[in-house]
Structure 1
């Protein structure tokens, strides 16, 4: 039997791997407190936050939570790599048991919000 697709962020988090839930709750809190005007919803079957366009999103994988944002820059990647995080072009992987890099994510979210306001 196939799992039903979540229609809201709370359901996505509750139905996820228990090890992923604290990370996703913390990401949700960072996003909503940094950009309170952001609209929370599910797009592409994962939590997405919109503020004058797509602000950020996250999804759960087998051993990590992936946080995605367009404004991730090379200096952010260097800082995160130095702290043990794996990054992609627009993603940060937060392994289960790893702390959420709050300060870096906060800075990136503010940057993305400003970019979205201009466009």
Structure 2
């Protein structure tokens, strides 16, 4: 049986327990603190934060052993050196449950992503 898709970020996070829920809540708080003007939406079944212009800024997704924090590939690439000890994908940062969250790094990436959209016109993938 497939798990029903959440219609809100609250419902999405409530679908997880333990370390997964804690990490999702921590990331949500970090985003809210860093980009309070962004609105939450569900995109492709996952929480996303949307710029007032309507452009998606980033998306988080919970998995069995980690959360993916998805930025644009250009944002992720701008932090290659800082991310050398962290598993990454094309535009994602993999955050394992039970590991310290690199909050300062994520905050800098969030600010960079907002700037690349506002100043350089970089849209979502």
Does the alignment reach a TM-score above 0.5? yes
Bigger relative CO (Cα 8 Å, ≥ 6 apart): 1
Does residue 81 (structure 1) correspond to residue 84 (structure 2)? The answer is yes
Matched-pair contact (CA < 8 Å) for 1:48–1:54: yes
Q: Look up the match of 2:114.
A: 113
Q: Does 1:100 align with 2:69?
A: no
Residue 47 of structure 2 is matched in structure 1 by 47
- Please report the RMSD computed on the Cα atoms of aligned residues, expressed in angstroms: 1.4
**TM-score, scaled to structure 2:** 0.85
Q: What whole-Å deviation, never above 9, does each CA across 1:90-116 have from its counterpart, x for those lacking one?
A: 111111101111011110110111111
Q: Which runs of 5+ in 2 are unaligned?
A: none
How many residue pairs get aligned? The number is 116
Change (3 A) 1:77 1:17: farther
Q: Tell me the CA shift for residue 16 of structure 1.
A: 1.7
Structure 1 residue runs without a partner (length 5+)? none
